[in-house]
Structure 1
């Protein structure tokens, strides 16, 4: 029924590439993916620098959505050992997969590694378990007085909760108590977003940390201490995502999977065009009939489309329509805010801080809670996958900064940013500047759609876009929704499902990661 039809997909991130492959696998609709940059995977790309790989923002491949887990592991089977060699049964979703990945086979690179999750908070120049563990070590670092205040304020919050959860501050205090909120949430969250927590919508908390609270953290502590769950249990479907202990990870970073998907799209007859920026959508009645793309060489092409999937920022999409949007709609779109992101990769001989036995830190992520530095998180890429670093005797880390394109930090040149970042982590005792061997700076604009500005009127935009029957907004920026990778994929899958069923309604797309059980961490 769909022979000869074209789906024009704006953006080669997880949502766009998922839609393209789903169309090719399940229909005769031909996808054309237009990506403005030269990178595959959106923020789920892998940046390579002198043989070292960077994961922008960190991407744990974990989902409570079975369809997504199956999709990932069908494309990249689970490796049985850390080096991707051998044969072994891996427990996943209450069944076993036997993965054959002989070391001499070139295809053994296309595998998911089973990785231990370890994240900690760096605060008061010390490491705290994330989430906080109830042990003598935590008590000693925080002190008895602060621990009593944390307990008392939590009990007070449970007895007398804030009845109206309008802001993120309301949301967090109701779940953790005021003292724990002030100690571990307020400064970090405001570092991420650049505005006070009482100016951020509570919807952000519902989106990202819905199931996590002090109570769930305590329950998890006791369960993990006394249960006998299999060490290879990847499903963890009853575990809050902030508490998962293992996850899957492509051998060479998240971009490896999406580059593989892009190659499959091309092999199956679709197109993925890099350096193709869409700046105009032509509308006739209630349909988008074509899009106009500007290529890297300056040439322009108009491409007719039966269906259009957009993952571009909503603000940009409104401006790209060839019809004038109502003034109120433009006002909402122009008022949407995006937080930008800088990652500074540092190759170092060693870190100053170590594990108790003197070995290199085992963390994938470290949340830097220290208020006297701007750096928000620190990744140790070696721990995501040993293949992320060219020389395993070195430590390859990523320092993550949340900012706006208008900030002084963003405007600095790369050398100045690297020097600033090195100074910050030396200041808080993570490393010594003399141990830094090399640095690489990556800027990513519009990484995080913000839940302030005109976000409280976002429903007006949803209603406006829903009038275009063949236009589907999917993915994180496409929906201005802080989706994780799996839910961005699910929005694309659901849109394809509906199209193939002859259903052009959009309501189901907007419910994804709003009414489901799974919500990711902060």
Structure 2
């Protein structure tokens, strides 16, 4: 029996393990996970009866293979009962499915609501051209934004930076209001220093023109309109958060005979010729070595390359890999009795809180990037959703910087103070709190990223190594794209295909990408 060694028990690693074991009896599968938790950045964190979704994960995909896999792993809910207070405004897409009040292993159907908080006012995200939007902006900003957009239609900039990418689609004025400050918070770099590749992946097809087309299509009741992914209105969501699905997948992998080694940190990858022959890992204070026939890696490219031993890559490949940048992430969970935000929408919500899943914070006088309202992702994430609101405050930082190194107490106090200054809560109302750190949450598109093709070319020379997932490819993939790379890696291994071009091609076309910074 051949052995497949998989590094990482996140979406990519677990999908690959499940695919290989469910389709062939000829392989032994061993998954090595550095932490003690399943799901990577898609995990669900439990704290005192409440649950946190790290980064926010909408289950939506235009890839039927991904959607079908989700449905098999966790069925979609049927029609909810009207007295189901927890589900509030949930609208089903599938009849006859499991009742989420009676079943735990179920996908809810949720409404996508994400808005921008700017000038202490709410704006639709993506930005819409409603009367309310124009009123919030004021006459002067509206006129300047309109003329700026018209100019961008006539004079196109070379798309050699993320800044120019946005300006070409929205005009300089709207870019300055709704993209510049937030993007700099996210990456710690000005958009003029970031490659346009990130925009091409995250907002494909989205522009003022796309928004106008969608708006008119809605107005005239056109049902078969093509909708850009950033304009999608509904999505699936596991009852107890994304980690529930990956914990289910991990259990299925073990049921089929796979081995999951938790808290097993890979420290070295041994290369002989054009093959990987083994990996070394630390577990329980001891160094172990595991040989294999096929290797699938979702660990950061930087760590993978710098950890290679034996026939090592050359100096230039190491230099480029060593310089690949990442952005780290902190979520502060706050439990409060209420938000000082009025629900001025027509959407019914439990306890009449605002209906947003995310609130994007554009104002640059606070460090806060986004606010998650966990009640709206799934009320089952909250122990008492009728009396409390459980929110996640998302901060982007670098491992080792002043914000990262704050104590839990200081970070929580800082976050609560920012929300109070924004008029969203009273810091004295906080009932409970929790801080969660995530290393290498976002592969970044600057520094030696511009030379990454040389690293990819080298990795492709290792015939039995398949790089998958967000960090495995140093690409800001969403969960469904990470899964797609895993499907293809499994396909290639089972078919004996050594060419990796199909795996690296995932999420490089101009057809689709979800806008959310998912996590």
- Listed as ranges, the matches of 1:155-304 within 5 Å are 155-162=150-157, 164-227=158-221, 229=223, 238-295=226-283, 297-304=284-291
For residue 104 of structure 2, what is the aligned residue in structure 1? Answer: 109
- Listed as ranges, the matches of 1:318-397 within 5 Å are 318-323=305-310, 324-356=312-344, 359-392=352-385, 393-397=387-391
SS of residue paired to 1:249: strand
Tell me, yes or no, if structure 1 residue 10 matches structure 2 residue 4.
Answer: no
For residue 420 of structure 2, what is the aligned residue in structure 1? Answer: 426
For residue 19 of structure 1, what is the aligned residue in structure 2? Answer: 16
SS of residue paired to 2:431: strand
The one-character-per-residue Cα deviations of 1:182-222 (angstroms, maximum 9, x if unpaired) are: 11110010010001110000011111111101111111222
- Listed as ranges, the matches of 1:95-174 within 5 Å are 98-101=96-99, 104=102, 108-162=103-157, 164-174=158-168
- Listed as ranges, the matches of 1:308-323 within 5 Å are 308-323=295-310
Q: CA deviation at 1:237?
A: 9.2
In 2: Cα distance, 1:304 partner to 1:410 partner: 37
For residue 233 of structure 1, what is the aligned residue in structure 2? Answer: none
Gaps of 5+ in 1: 230-235
The answer as to whether partners of 1:89 and 1:97 remain within 8 angstroms in 2 is: no
The answer as to whether partners of 1:23 and 1:30 remain within 8 angstroms in 2 is: no
Runs ≥4 residues deviating over 3 A: 81-85, 88-91, 100-104
The answer as to whether partners of 2:115 and 2:359 remain within 8 angstroms in 1 is: yes
- Listed as ranges, the matches of 1:41-120 within 5 Å are 41-81=39-79, 91=93, 98-101=96-99, 104=102, 108-120=103-115
The one-character-per-residue Cα deviations of 1:212-252 (angstroms, maximum 9, x if unpaired) are: 011111112222344275xxxxxx99321211100000000
Gaps of 5+ in 2: 346-350
For residue 437 of structure 1, what is the aligned residue in structure 2? Answer: 431
Q: Scaled by the length of structure 2, what TM-score is found?
A: 0.94
For residue 416 of structure 1, what is the aligned residue in structure 2? Answer: 410
Q: CA deviation at 1:374?
A: 0.2
SS of residue paired to 1:70: helix
The answer as to whether partners of 2:298 and 2:471 remain within 8 angstroms in 1 is: yes
In 2: Cα distance, 1:20 partner to 1:395 partner: 37
For residue 348 of structure 2, what is the aligned residue in structure 1? Answer: none
In 1: Cα distance, 2:219 partner to 2:433 partner: 40
Query: Cα–Cα, structure 1 residues 103 and 204, in superposed 2: closer, same or farther, change >3 Å?
Result: closer
Query: Cα–Cα, structure 1 residues 457 and 210, in superposed 2: closer, same or farther, change >3 Å?
Result: same
The answer as to whether partners of 2:100 and 2:106 remain within 8 angstroms in 1 is: no
